[in-house]
Structure 1
């Protein structure tokens, strides 16, 4: 992936997310790009659930799918794409991995990809993550500061540091759900290389117990709220957490919703698992 970043089409990516301006490596650009990305490119597991395939993480394939094609992707694809764009602008980006905690009924392996972004001249790095895909996902990158709260279009976030004497400190991304802070995922600052991501991607796409194989999930942040498809239900979530749910009649209506509301072209050969 790193070698291919020299050929990355930054202008095409910026057009895809509808971003215009001076692409300089500063905190304002980072936050603005992050928000434009999550409001333009949906999170989706069509390849894994409907095609039963393992998505390619080669940057050229990710760009073909998500920049030049009408598709979204999972956390690996989203954050690989953002990392390439940020590096092209002049940021230093490090891959980190996280353990999802939100709504987990058992302890899960570390399979989530997120980014540490070093901003030239900034006193602390930032955490960026355009691939969490939920209503409690970051809209903008946030500084790596213990306890500092970030309010983003009604969503409230903070990072909490949890020192461990026997190992690297844990950090947790928290979001407000209802009236309480809720852990979304935990991570360390140990750098991960591109080669480390491939086994996680394969595990998530092929393990029969993986959530990505259990049901269709598509989601995208909106300026006010979030739009989601889970299985055959379309869910609109407002900033205050209220939900409006509509059952979709059949796969034909599902296809129309994905095309019209999420700008996703479902690839030929996609079939609902028997």
Structure 2
């Protein structure tokens, strides 16, 4: 994943990373966490009636220089640019969201990174119950604690992985995927669907998620949900409050009138 306007120092400054950046496991884990905690998952462009651009240069410009976030293709695409700059091999995978009542196509993108002989699921763009650190693909059927969350990867006889999250004391399926490598252009139809189809949640309502070390803040429409160490607070926002929350809590300037 290459963009002519991407450079590693600018990326590290954008996510506030000050440690050593080399092609090792510690760097992979640290970069994902740092980007997750500084770059929001958001669909402001879709809400403004735009089709999200998958041009790598436009993604780099939007997130690195405009201080924006994005949804899965954008934030995971940016992470892939950083992996490439560090010399960490990776591939994109297409994942099927599993929390809908009806079966859905594989519209989600995740990244599999290879470092120090292991393959890691990296995903910075799944919203509410996305993983909070890379997951070793060898660690199947094992409960993996990440801060206050717990995740698990299972694998079936066909080699397909299923990511589960512990939600309200029960395992909830998040998405499934296999290791068939995907090219960047393969996500163009899914991106168009997520940007335009009336059934897509990104078209239906505003979605913003910002992870932090003790939980996450989730804005869904005009409802703000704050999760801190498993405690949940909800607040319905007025239009004025919504604009203020976007600006001051998520550090985003609305691109449409709220």
Task: Give the TM interval when normalised to the shorter protein.
Answer: over 0.9
Give the structure 2 partner of residue 118 of structure 1: 114
- Across the aligned residues of Structure 1 and Structure 2, the Cα RMSD in angstroms comes to 1.3
Report the CA distance between 1:178 and its aligned residue. 2.2
Question: 1 CA distance for matches of 2:172 and 2:237?
Answer: 31
Give the structure 2 partner of residue 222 of structure 1: 212
Question: 1 CA distance for matches of 2:22 and 2:210?
Answer: 26
Question: 1 CA distance for matches of 2:57 and 2:3?
Answer: 9
Question: 2 CA distance for matches of 1:147 and 1:247?
Answer: 38
Give the structure 1 partner of residue 137 of structure 2: 144
Give the structure 2 partner of residue 132 of structure 1: 126
Question: 1 CA distance for matches of 2:243 and 2:151?
Answer: 33
Report the CA distance between 1:6 and its aligned residue. 5.7
Q: Is the 8 A contact 1:5 1:88 kept in 2?
A: no
Q: Is the 8 A contact 1:98 1:110 kept in 2?
A: yes
Q: Is the 8 A contact 2:5 2:60 kept in 1?
A: no
Give the structure 2 partner of residue 243 of structure 1: 232
Pairs within 5 Å for 1:192-231: 192-231=182-221
Q: Is the 8 A contact 2:5 2:61 kept in 1?
A: no
Give the structure 1 partner of residue 67 of structure 2: 70
Report the CA distance between 1:271 and its aligned residue. 4.1
In structure 1, the gaps of 5 or more residues are none
Give the structure 2 partner of residue 13 of structure 1: 11
Report the CA distance between 1:137 and its aligned residue. 1.0
Stretches (4+) displaced over 3 A: 4-7
Q: TM-score, normalised by structure 1?
A: 0.90
Give the SS at the match of 2:216: strand
Question: 2 CA distance for matches of 1:227 and 1:202?
Answer: 26
Give the SS at the match of 1:131: coil
